[in-house]
Amino acid sequence: MTKLKGILLTEGMHGMISQVEGLAKALDLEFIHEKIELNSFWKLIPPSLTPVQKFVFKNDINKDFQIVISCGRKSVIPSIYLKKKYKSKIVNIHIQDPKVSLKNFDYVIVPEHDSVKGKNVLTTKGAIHYLRKVDLDQNANYLKSQINKEKVVSLIVGGPNRYYNYNKNLINDIFVKIKKIFLDRGFQLIFIPSMRTPKKIIDQARDFFDKNQIIVTEVDKKAYLSSFKLADYIVVTCDSTSMISEAAMTGKPIYIAQMPSKKRNDRFNKFFELFNSLNITKNLESSLEKWNYEKLNETDKISSYILQQLNKYDFS
């Protein structure tokens, strides 16, 4: 059977790419990425007030696909535009709350903590993503030669966003906790930055931690995967629900490095409460505990349902 073709629409951020690519792979699509660029004026306008017209976005998207998977605010209008243009010849799936009528999409995938309801809404515990056990296994040796301790802790660092600031003192507090809880107990650290991590934070890590620790200084997917495989514990900064969700596929204890939010963040708090209740995460404080939980596999759960539904469509 010929594979279905997909087009993935995002703003190009890691968390969004992880989600659309994860679903595309689980659906066994032959796919391409399209980074959406809106024309200047429409970058400032919410999707609910934006006309569904080609002049809104710069991308020239030709019809050579059956499945559209979109994620993020900028991709909402292009996805709806393609659905209106090609109608039943394509299926459009949006990940995250689109902030417009859900009827514009065949399926909408949202985490439980978003509290979005609808007949075509599929809910997940945390974010779906591209990671699979085989990805971790294949990259285990990438950092292994640098490991010289029996116990390893991986620190996955995000960056500033609408809800969290990253200043030197806040990050220093996290580093101090890592040292006291882990390094003083004989652990070796793997520090992993993300696309949003400011260079000054990476430099701060290099200055704070001793030379025996592994400080990855650039965005490195292989190092990210290797750090998950090698770690006994994983610490993730609180600003990224997507990276916390990715860490949860390992089954390893996850500490969340909390920081004060600069404005009300109910969605984040609901996410933290859910993952705490599932015994996946604990807040990074002062003690070291060991716990287990059932590995999250939300991508396969969602894709299995969608695959069953796709059998009902005629894409000819």
- Per-residue pLDDT tens for 133-155? 999 999 999 999 999 999 999 99
Confidence (pLDDT) at 44: 93
Confidence (pLDDT) at 1: 55
Confidence (pLDDT) at 113: 86
Confidence (pLDDT) at 171: 96
Which of 67, 46, 83, 89 lies closest to 4, judged by CA? Answer: 67
Look up the CATH number of domain 133-283: 3.40.50.2000
Task: Profile the chain (316 residues) by mean pLDDT over runs of 10 residues.
Answer: 90 90 95 95 95 96 93 97 95 96 97 91 93 93 97 97 92 98 98 95 97 96 97 97 94 97 90 95 96 93 95 83
CATH T-level topology, domain 5-125+298-310: Rossmann fold (3.40.50)
Residues forming CATH 3.40.50.2000 domain(s) in the chain: 133-283
